[in-house]
Each structure stands twice: as C-alpha cells, then as structure tokens.
Structure 1
Amino acid sequence: MNKNLRKLPLAIAISLALPAIAAENETTLGTVVVTAPATEAPLTVTTDPKAPRQPLPAHDGADLLKSIPGFSVIRKGGTDGDPVFRGMSGSRLGILLDGQEIHGGCGGRMDPPTAYIYPESYDRVTVLKGPQTVLYVPGSSAGVVLFERDFKRMTEPGWSADGSLTFGSWGRNDQYLEARGGNPDFYARINATRSDSDNYEDGDGEEVHSFYTRWSTSAALGWTPDDNTLLELSLGRSDGEAAYADRAMDGTKFERENAALKFEKRNISPLVAKVEALAYYSYVDHVMDNYSLRKPPKDPTKYALNNPDRETKGARVAVTLTPNDPLQLVLGADMKTDEHTLRNGTDYRNQPREADLSFDRYGVFGEATYALDDVRRVIGGLRVDDYEVTNDKMGGITEGETLPSGFLRFENDYGSGAGTWYAGLGHVERFPDYWEYMRTGNMIKVQDARSFATLDPEKTTQLDIGANWTQGPWSASVSGFYSKVDDYILLRWVSDKAANVRNIDATVYGLEGDLSWRFAPNWQAYGTVAWVRGTNDTGDKALAQQPPLEGKLGVEYDNRVFSYGALLRMVAKQDRYDIGSGSIVANGQDLGPTGGFATLALNAGWRPNKATLLTVGVDNVFDRTYSEHLGKGGWDFAGAAVTDERINEPGRTFWVKAQLALD
C-alpha cells in the first residue's frame, strides 16, 4: 500500500457510509456522548463502541480503551498506541476480537492487537478486571478485553444498515459502514472502515510526524435454523500505513487476513445450557522502512527495511452445564499456535523468510458459579496450560512449561439489590511472550539478565475488592487491588533498539472509582479516578512505566434531541520512575519525572430524528502543550536518534461526527 490510499475521494466515502435499506426492527441511536464508562457489575466494565465519545472518537482499540478509568496508552504519535491497564501492558492484558486472539508482527510493537481494531465495527466492548476469570486468554494478570459483535435471529426477511462520517483537525476523516440482512434461517453482514489523518500539531504549533491511513473489511455468513442454533463463517482483511514520531522507521504495510468458524447451541437439555466452538486463522504481514514515509537517508546504503509476519491458529470449545438450580459450570479447552518469521532488505520480496520464534499452547479450564442464596454467590475457576516455545535462530532450542491459574471470589448483593460488594483472590502464571523471549541471549548483558533457557514465567497473586451501588439518581463503584508478582519480567533498554530482559519481584496496588449523579431532568454529573503504585521489590525502587494519578470530572445535558457536555481531565505529576527500564514497546522506558496537567473538552449533539445523530466537539480547548508520562521519547530526525523528550500530544482539536442508522 502507498500514499495513494490516503486520497480516496470523499464522495466515494460518503456514498459508502450512507445507504438506506429496509429491515425488520426499528433502530434508534443511543446515548449521545460516552466519556467515562461506569462499572455496573463486579470487576466488569461494558461500553458501546458505536456511541460518539470525547476526546475525539476512537479510531483504534487503544484509543477507545483510554476512555475507561484505569487505562493508559503508551503513545507513539498519531496511532497504534499500546494499551496499559493498572500499569500492566503487553501480554498481561488479553485482547480478544470476536473470541480470536491475535498478535502483531512488529518486534518493536508498531502493531499491538488493538492496532487492528476499528471500535465502531463492534457492538460491545467488555473489560474484565484482574485475574478473576479463567475462560479466556491465559496469563492475563491485568485483565481481559473482549471486542464482540452481536446477532439476534431474525423473525422475518429484511435488511438494515448504519454508517458514520467523522471529520476533524489535521485532515482527520473516518468512514464506517455496516450492512446486515437475511431471513430466519440465514443472514449476512458486511463491515467496511477507513480512518485517515495528517500530521497533528501540539499546543505550540509544532508538527509531529504522525500521519496514518488504515482500512478494514469483514464479512460474515450465518445459519440460524432455530432460536438456539448459530453457525457462522467470518472473513476479514485490513491494511494501512502509519508514520511514527518515536522511532527510526515507519509502517508501510499492516496487512491482516483472518477467517473464523463459530458454532453455538443453546438450551440443549436441563443439564446442558450451551455448547460453543470456535476455530480461527490469522495472518499478519507487516513492512517497515526508513525511507517511504519520511525523508530518506542521503546515503542509500543506510536504507533499512524489515518484513516480519506472524501466522496464528486457534480453537476453543466450551460447554455450560446447569446440574442444579444454584450451580452453573463452564468446562472447556482451547489451543493456539503462533509462528513468527522475518526477512530484511529493500529487495525483501526476493528473500526467503527466516523463522525466529514459534509458540504452542494447549489449555483446559473450568469455571463455576454457585448461588448460596438469593443475594450471595461464590465464583471460582481453574485452568492449566501447557506451553512450548521454539527458538529457530538458535538451532531449534525448545523450552516448555505447564502453568496453572485460578481464582475464587465471593459476591454479596445488598440494599435490596441496590448494590454488590465482592472480594476475590486470583493467581495467574504467565509464560514469556514473543517480545520478551526475543530479548534473551543476544543482547548486551547486564546483572541478572536472563538467557532464552532461564527466563522464568511470571507469577501474579492478586486480591481484588470492591463494590457497586445504584440508588435513585446516584450511581457509584470502587474497585481496589493488591498484587504480589514473583519473577516479574522487566526490560532494561540499553539503546533505542537493544534491551535486556530479566526477572524481578514486584508489588503493585491501586484502585479505580466512578460516581454519577443525575441532579436534574436530563442532567448528569460524574467523576472518575484511577491510581496505581508499583514497586520493584528486588531493586527497592519504583516499578517502571506506571501511570500517574488521573481523575475526570464531567457534566452532560441530554433531552434526546439536543445534548451538551464538558469533560475536565486532570493528571497528577509522576515522580516515581526507573530511567532505562520499561516495557516491550520499542524503547518503551521511563525517561524521568513528568509534571501534571489538565485539559478541557466540550461537545454538543443534535438528534433530529431517531435514525440520525450529529455531534461536534473540541478537545484541549486551551491548546495546552503537554505529554503523557507513558509517552515515548521522540525521534530527532536531524540527529537520527531517539531523544529523552517525550512526544507532545495534539493541541486544540475540532471534530464533527455524523451517524445514520436506517431500517
């Protein structure tokens, strides 16, 4: 793909986004602006990715997640940031796309899993906090994020569609289209998305190397012979390009292809409530270079290009049993194979691919919910996973582990159902991921560095406690955690390309809270807070890459025709850091302390009818120049080196979004 992709005529985008076709059910657009999704169930946050939100509506998965308390993003410029939850990133945070576990190809994390997600093409995003489930991605000590699509069996033949257009400062323009149709026995769905932006400017008017273009398409065909049966085949393809302010290369190709086959059968018998099965395939072909999207080196011998790829195959089967009224039991098994290869050079198409690391995992799990009475219940689960990694660069050396995980949680409703309090203890053992293993055995050694064969799995034991409450116009929740991590895997960066990896012991604790008050008809005020503190117990110092205290205050008016809102985001200074240590993101290290800042955002919306919603907004109203603590150091193009000055965030940003949902 090249820059011509970024010149798709606007007329084509509009014609794609606004079709009108008939369907069976009435569609009404929901809440105008979602700024801080609230916790409504223990350790669970669910949000509608189709709803417009502030700051500027999300164009990738990380952009959406940062609106949820507890999430931060390791920023690299305009796109493809790495999500961080409770100070934990990488494979500590499981990401599933319609049940599929995918990984990017870039060894420097140009393309984390969320880079391949256009949130509006999904119906629901669910965050499951902490090691408090064993049903999904193993090793997810921070939590699991589910991007999901829904489908309800049609009662009669029909079609429907919805689409949106977004325009903003610095050439930002997004297009989204979804069309659905079928009859009670069969259905089809198509999705198409495109997002594009030029370089943005910070509050001082300085341009940041950050332009991008991303597009995706997907289709699904389903068979629903009755209300309890679903068989669906889905296919997807996406690509893009992105300029990065934090590194020596840009991404010129992010091609992804995927296919999945899903089966569900419900209400089989009084014992068997549901059987579900999923098989999927994903292939990522990624190209990065230092000359296509930036001023090339004067010396042609300095041209550089890498072409990694990754092939992932996975499957999952589970059965939900209800042996008696108070007990529900989910039993299942899953597996995933993952192979990464690489080739280099400007003539890479003529070069053979060289395998470097491949992973195999097979797991079994069980999770039970037992109701002690009408207001009390116990939830618990166990899983065991067998892992094997092969280092093809070192002659096929293999390393394997069998790792257990589990949790037990007590929940108690109170106030005649007004709220729930809970306490849970979880333990998860995480096998080192690709980015951690690739740093072993071939970099500059430091004290306590680990080799390929001696890097130990990470073991997290965590206590989660909290409560939710809703009464009249008030709604609130608080969730706290305390975690001890044995053999925490920490990177120590020795240059912008090289890092060592080692095991340490760590302690991490913190909380998230939200409060909402509907103080008058159509009016709501809300606030959120997120705080985390991490300590490197081995080194008796701060744990690297921990976000500062953050709070949000907002007010909204919405009478279902007009809406208005304001959001104040406040971030405290961060004086706990470990210079040089950090995450698996290329050169993702602490750079020193950061000062606090605050930004104001305003929005307004108009719903002229049930199917149309127009929203406008301005972010960073006062054009503040600021950078995030987890922001990366910028690339000094003149000096051809990474600096210790963080990349500044966008200055004042105007945007407008139009949504149409037609039946």
Structure 2
Amino acid sequence: MTRTPPFFRRRFLTPRVNPTPCVVACALLCSQMAVVHAQTAAETTLPSARVLDEVVVTAVHDHSAVTVVADPKVPRQPAPASDAADYLKSIPGFSAIRSGGSNGDPVFRGQFGSRLPILTNGTTLLGACPGRMDAPSSYISPETYDVLTVTKGPQTVLWGPGASAGTVRFDREQPDFSSGPVHFNASALGGSAGRNDQNIDLAVGNEHYYGRVTANHSHGQDYKDGNGNIVPSKWDKWNTDIALGLTPDANTLIEVTAGTGDGEARYGGRGMDGSQFKRESAALRWEKRNLTQAVAKLEAQLYYNDADHVMDNYTLRPFKPSGGMSMAMASNVARTTTGGRMAATLAPVEHWQVVAGLDFTKSRHDQRSGTSMVSYTTKPWRRDANFSDVGVFAEASWHASESGKLVSGLRIDHSQVSRYPVSSSEGMGSMSGMGATDATTVSSSNHRAQSALPSGFVRWEQDVKSINTSWYAGIGHVQRFPDYWELISPTNSAAASGDAFNQLRPEKTTQIDVGAQWRNDTWQVWSSAYVGRVTDFILFDYRSGSGVVRNVDANTAGFELGGSHHITPHWTLQGTMAYTWARNASDAKPLPQIPPFDAKIGADYSNGPWSSGALLRLVAPQHRYAIAQGNVVGRDFGASAGFGVFSVHAGYALTQQVKLTLGIDNLFDKAYAEHLNLAGNAGFGYPGSLSINEPGRSVWLRADVKF
C-alpha cells in the first residue's frame, strides 16, 4: 500500500538563528479571590499618547458564562509560548505534561488527550506518534491566531465529539479593512538558552477580497535548571499559512487556506527525539449570512490536515544503547485527517435561537521504520488504523426574560475504527505502530463500530443587574469513543493482544458545572466549579512493566477562582487559583496524573508608555497519586513537592506602533519540577523515576510592531 502523497511537496527553508530595572510589586488577595488580567484595565490608566498593551501576568479571565476568551498575540509571562500547551497553562485549570523545552501535552482539570479536543480554524489535526510526542498542540503556534476560546466542561455540542473536559479553539478571524487596506503585526523575541522567536502576520485587501500570510519561527537551546544542570530540551520549529478570501457582498465569505510547517525537538524524558514535525493543511470555507427571515447564517467547511512525524535516537542525541534499544533506530509515522462541517443558524423567533448541522472526520494512521544503516525512506508505508466519525448536532438558546437564558444542546455520533493485522516481520512494531500490514481486508475482530453515542447539556444563565452579577448552572453528558492511543498504540500491551481493541468500552462522563461573575468599577471576581462522574474511565496501568489499558469508574471535582482590583488608576492587583480532585472509585484510590493546587498572585503598574509588574506562582505538594498508573504519555512516580516561583517584567511603548517588553522568569533561580512530568531517560543519564526540572532563571526581551 502506498500512502497518498501530501498536498504540498515544496518545502520552505527556514534559517536557524541563534540569536533592567523593573518595578517589582506583589500583593496577596483574600483567600476567596484570585485574579485575572482584566481586558478593561487599560481604560483605568491616565490618558496618554502612548499606552502599552498589558502583559498577561497570571491568566485570562472568564469571558462569559462558561467560556474563556484570550488574545494569543498579547505578550505574557512566563516567556511567550512556543506551542499551544505552553500558552494554555496561563489559563486557570490548565497544566501540561512536560516533554522538553517545547511540545508538551495539555491537561485541563486533570483530563487529557481526546477528552480535550483542540481545533484550529474549526479543523482537527491529530498527531501520529504512538506516545503522543507530536500532540496536536505541538503543531500550533498561538501567536499566529487572533482569538483563543475555551469552553469549560461538556457545555457545547457544536465542535465535535468526546469533549468531556472542554473544547479549545484557536481561530483566525476575517480581516476588517475599514481602517485601511493593510494590517501588519510582527514580533521578535530573544532570551536565555538561545531562545529566539519571530512572528509575522500580514493582511492586504478591501471589502471585496483579501490575502493574508502568517508565519513564525521559534528556536531554543537546552536550558539550565535552577541547580545549574543542563536539561536536554532544544527545539526548532516554523509554520507558514496563507488565506485568500472573497467577499462579493457584506453577507458572503469564501475563503481558501493552505499551510505547512516543520521542526525538531529533543526530550530528556523520552527514549527518542522528534527529528521531523511536518504539517500540511488545506481548507475551504463558505459562509452566507441573512439568507432569509428564517435563516440567519449558513456555513460549510472542508479540510485536510497531514502530520508526518519522524522520531529517532541518533539525530539530536549521541546514540547510547538503552531502554531496550540496542541499535540506532528511526520510526516514521503519519496521520492524515480529513473532515467537514455544515451548520445553519436560524434567525431568532419568539426568543429562540437554534444552530443545527453535522460534522464528520476520517483519519488514517500509517507507519514505517528503519535504522541509521537502512533508512526508513526506503521502506513502504504500512497502515495500522482507520478511524471515522459522523455526528449531527443542535444547540438552542431560549431567552426566557431580559436577564435569564436557557441553553441546551444534543448531538449523536457514529464512530468506527478498523485496525490491520500485526506482522512481527516489521521489527519496529514496539516503537512505531505494531508492524501493520497492507490495508486490504479487515476481519470482524479488527473492526469496531459504535452507533448513537449521545452527548448533551442543559444550562441556565442568569444576570442580576442590580448587583452586577451573573451566574450559571448546567449539567452535561458525553460518551467518548476510545482513541488511537487507547485502542491500538503499542504503548499498551493490551492493544497488541487485542484485549483493548475488543473490550475497551466508551467513556461516559456526566458533570455539573456552576459559576458566577461579579464586577464594579474597580473589582472583578469570577468563579467556576464542577463535580462529575465518569463511568468506564480509560486508565493506563504500568505496574506490570508494560502498559495495560482498562476501564474503571471515577469521581471528579474541582474549582477555579479569579479576580482583579484596580487600587489606583495605575496599579492593579490580580490572582487566580485552581484545584482538581479525582478518585478511582473502582480501585478505591486516587486517580493518577492529577495536578496539585495552583495559585498565582500578581501586581501590574501602567502609566502612559511605561508598564511593569510581578508574578508569584505557588504550587502545593501533591500527595494524592497512583504509582505507575496514568495515561499514554505520563504516569505517577509518587508524591511531588510544592514550590514557589517569582517573575518580573517591564515594558515601554516607543510609539503607538512599536513596543518593548523585558521579562525575567524564575527570578530567584528556583530548582523545581511539575507534578505532571515524564520520567528521565537513561540515554541522557537520568534515572527512570526522576522528574525533569523546569528552567532556572530566564531573561527575555520582546519587540512588537503593529500598524
């Protein structure tokens, strides 16, 4: 079987370029509050010809009832993110499983993987690595997008199946040329450990057509931890995307997009590094608004995403026999995902608004392998899996009064998967995808289908204008079909034996979400909380030495709090906190890979072109763990220590268009490790149970240009 050629064959060559006084303040908010950078804070500063955009010191605040909305282009601390997982960590409730300097795997409220769909411009891109070395977030450069939207919990059905933890969307908006025919954004960053980033976003057009180019390059060398030890973590990556749009009238949009990218990264916590992260994407989108009195909008989209990933143990590290690998090896895996979406938004009638439609995805996984002596490029592609899903959905809003709204949704999905027989002659099966054979016929034991997987929610939202408060309460249910890593990936021995494929049951999550917001002229406070029951939670168990996947029942609960206070026109205090609790009810023990309590406290100063601030992050010890249990990427090693990290920043606007920001992360060079972590790899001299430390003191300088 020959793998279908990618859309794009021509590659872009990107050069690898290796490239303070601060006002420090910190204040504690009361234990019931914490904060987020209010987007309205700039309005409280004194008038000035030049006002610096604020640095997101702690996190982005809740935007509405159950959503968080952020501008990924705004500078943030710690150093601006190199991938989506890194950026999401600035939102309360998010953490990430550290792989190296880049390409972590995001976790929200302790939930991971396909429980947290991540979409770009409404499309799905899935990584190919059996161990999620190339998680979907690793292909996303946040700053090339205009808006990030996070929906917490199972509280929407519009964006695909399985969203039990929530839904993350990175989107580029249609350019608005009312202020001129050219829009240009660029930034450059240089910092410790060879860190250097460049980003460009150029849009040219008018009311009838437009063209847009976004491009980025990010590079970092191995960093030093707080003890002065070098951590293998270097990366180099780039992305380029173009969009061509036609807007023949004010109600019509036709847009064609295409993109490509590549990169490499090495990992102190893995037996292999990523020597290739090729991405190729294409999409066609059509929107028509105000069609009739009954139809407010019709939209349709088709897309193609291809991830072509290479991992080996000799390109980015000196080869040392370890971990069962006695020779220099390479594995090339690929995941091609195609899909589409059609939806209609009905015009409001009698206080009702309805969005209804369908979406579908098809995803195939191919692999081949080789050694430093016999290149994988000489081997044929072998397919080991085909996945597909078709879903129909409807979401309705009923404005019962001026201040009260009922929102509900329902979707039904049909999911199926085919795997292809294992061939021991492929050799590298334990590393690259079970040594699959050609995709010809599939026996009934190698095919699974699940009809009528339901998801739905009901939520009430209420505004209490007399006290500037809004609140919501909702209940949602999601049934999630097992994904590639749970059913087929060779990281679990049950997949090789067929037990996981044939016996693993869909995961069923029922969760109650509540939240509230309050604000006045100087205060803003928000909160969200949840309690859930997961039937047939899919758990990875490594206690036997190799991974076994099985279903258990679990209980979950947690909260996020945030707030900000403008104590003067120039000073803002802020903070956030998040906590997640989860229990394996079947085994009467904690659920593994749950992040500990995490709080951030900060202060910002802004006066005309000047700004500065400080951030203190406090993380509690984690004493709830399940030894040698976890997910396809990480597992619990035991208890983890708490830590505190202090960072500062300062900024100056040279003009309305040019701004500089200087930051020092981990000012006191603290040595610490996150609870969610990969074990060290013996190839780099790390014990197998050692967590990888985070970067020590890091200094960075960023310049932003916008017109």
Q: SS of the residue aligned with 2:641?
A: coil
2 CA distance for matches of 1:34 and 1:568?
9
1:185 match: 208
2:50 and 2:609 in contact (8 A); partners too:
no
- Does 2:197 align with 1:174? yes
1:610 match: 656
Runs of 4+ in 1 over 4 A off after TM superposition: 26-29, 298-301, 439-442
* 1:309 counterpart letter in structure 2: A
Q: Choose from 299, 319, 339 the match for 1:314.
A: 339
Question: What do residues 484-522 of structure 1 show as CA deviations (whole Å, max 9, x unaligned)?
Answer: 0000000012588x4110000000100001011011102
Question: What do residues 256-287 of structure 1 show as CA deviations (whole Å, max 9, x unaligned)?
Answer: 10000011111222211111111100111110
Aligned-pair distance for 1:32? 3.8
1:21 match: none
1:268-283 correspondence to structure 2 within 5 Å: 268-283=291-306
Aligned-pair distance for 1:165? 0.4
- Does 2:500 align with 1:500? no
1:523 match: 571
1:7 match: 16
- Does 2:283 align with 1:260? yes
Aligned-pair distance for 1:632? 1.3
2:476 match: 426
2:58 and 2:574 in contact (8 A); partners too:
no
2:508 match: 459
Q: Choose from 469, 473, 477 the match for 2:518.
A: 469
Aligned-pair distance for 1:357? 1.3
- Does 2:678 align with 1:624? no
2:154 and 2:478 in contact (8 A); partners too:
yes
2:359 match: 334
2:464 match: 414
2 CA distance for matches of 1:423 and 1:366?
20
Which stretch shows the higher mean deviation, 197-206 or 394-403?
394-403
1 CA distance for matches of 2:476 and 2:619?
30
2 CA distance for matches of 1:463 and 1:393?
42
1:30 match: 53
1:341 and 1:357 in contact (8 A); partners too:
yes
1:244 match: 267
Indicate how the Cα distance of structure 1 residues 593 and 157 shifts in structure 2: closer, same or farther if over 3 A, else same: closer
1:137 match: 160
Indicate how the Cα distance of structure 1 residues 534 and 314 shifts in structure 2: closer, same or farther if over 3 A, else same: same
Question: What do residues 349-384 of structure 1 show as CA deviations (whole Å, max 9, x unaligned)?
Answer: 111111111101000000000000000010000000
Which stretch shows the higher mean deviation, 385-394 or 374-383?
385-394
Aligned-pair distance for 1:28? 8.8
Indicate how the Cα distance of structure 1 residues 152 and 301 shifts in structure 2: closer, same or farther if over 3 A, else same: closer
1:212 and 1:240 in contact (8 A); partners too:
yes
2 CA distance for matches of 1:400 and 1:444?
19
Residue identity (%): 44
2 CA distance for matches of 1:121 and 1:68?
18
1:15 match: none
Q: SS of the residue aligned with 1:416?
A: helix
2 CA distance for matches of 1:112 and 1:414?
42
1:442-453 correspondence to structure 2 within 5 Å: 443=493, 450-453=499-502
2:131 and 2:491 in contact (8 A); partners too:
no
* 1:208 counterpart letter in structure 2: V
Q: Choose from 569, 582, 590 the match for 2:636.
A: 590
Which stretch shows the higher mean deviation, 384-393 or 629-638?
629-638
Q: SS of the residue aligned with 1:139?
A: coil
Q: SS of the residue aligned with 2:421?
A: helix
Question: What do residues 192-251 of structure 1 show as CA deviations (whole Å, max 9, x unaligned)?
Answer: 100001000000000000000000000000001122211100000000000011111000
1:153 and 1:227 in contact (8 A); partners too:
no
Q: SS of the residue aligned with 2:274?
A: strand
Indicate how the Cα distance of structure 1 residues 449 and 526 shifts in structure 2: closer, same or farther if over 3 A, else same: farther
Indicate how the Cα distance of structure 1 residues 156 and 543 shifts in structure 2: closer, same or farther if over 3 A, else same: closer
Aligned length: 641
2 CA distance for matches of 1:343 and 1:560?
58
1:80 and 1:110 in contact (8 A); partners too:
yes
* 1:361 counterpart letter in structure 2: D
Question: What do residues 103-146 of structure 1 show as CA deviations (whole Å, max 9, x unaligned)?
Answer: 11111111111101111100110110000000012101000011
2 CA distance for matches of 1:307 and 1:494?
29
Aligned-pair distance for 1:329? 0.1
Aligned-pair distance for 1:158? 1.8
Aligned-pair distance for 1:297? 3.4
2:300 and 2:342 in contact (8 A); partners too:
yes
2:38 match: none
Indicate how the Cα distance of structure 1 residues 605 and 248 shifts in structure 2: closer, same or farther if over 3 A, else same: same
1:23 match: none
Question: What do residues 125-172 of structure 1 show as CA deviations (whole Å, max 9, x unaligned)?
Answer: 011000000001210100001101112443587222111100110000
2:426 match: none
1:649-660 correspondence to structure 2 within 5 Å: 649-660=694-705
1 CA distance for matches of 2:304 and 2:588?
44
Q: TM-score, normalised by structure 2?
A: 0.87
Indicate how the Cα distance of structure 1 residues 412 and 479 shifts in structure 2: closer, same or farther if over 3 A, else same: same
1:96-245 correspondence to structure 2 within 5 Å: 96-155=119-178, 158-245=181-268
Aligned-pair distance for 1:470? 1.2
CA RMSD of aligned residues (A): 2.3
- Does 2:619 align with 1:574? no
Aligned-pair distance for 1:68? 0.4
Q: Greater share of strand residues, 1 or 2?
A: 1
2:611 and 2:650 in contact (8 A); partners too:
yes
- Does 2:369 align with 1:344? yes
Question: What do residues 546-584 of structure 1 show as CA deviations (whole Å, max 9, x unaligned)?
Answer: 000011100001124100110000000000000111012
Which stretch shows the higher mean deviation, 231-240 or 296-305?
296-305
2:410 match: 382
Q: SS of the residue aligned with 1:393?
A: coil
1:357-368 correspondence to structure 2 within 5 Å: 357-368=385-396
Q: SS of the residue aligned with 2:155?
A: coil
Q: SS of the residue aligned with 2:475?
A: strand
1:509 match: 557
Which segments of 5 or more consecutive residues in structure 1 lack a partner in the other structure? 11-25
2 CA distance for matches of 1:250 and 1:566?
35
1 CA distance for matches of 2:390 and 2:50?
42
Aligned-pair distance for 1:33? 3.8
Using CA pairs under 8 Å that are at least 6 residues apart, name the structure with larger relative contact order, 1 or 2.
Answer: 2
Q: SS of the residue aligned with 1:345?
A: strand
1:13 match: none
2 CA distance for matches of 1:60 and 1:164?
16
1 CA distance for matches of 2:505 and 2:450?
10
2:330 match: 305
2:105 match: 82
1:439 and 1:499 in contact (8 A); partners too:
no
Question: What do residues 56-84 of structure 1 show as CA deviations (whole Å, max 9, x unaligned)?
Answer: 11111011000000000100110100000
Which stretch shows the higher mean deviation, 74-83 or 147-156?
147-156
2 CA distance for matches of 1:298 and 1:377?
62
Question: What do residues 297-344 of structure 1 show as CA deviations (whole Å, max 9, x unaligned)?
Answer: 379960111000011101000000025141000000000000001101
Q: SS of the residue aligned with 1:68?
A: coil
1:381 and 1:406 in contact (8 A); partners too:
yes
2 CA distance for matches of 1:74 and 1:400?
31
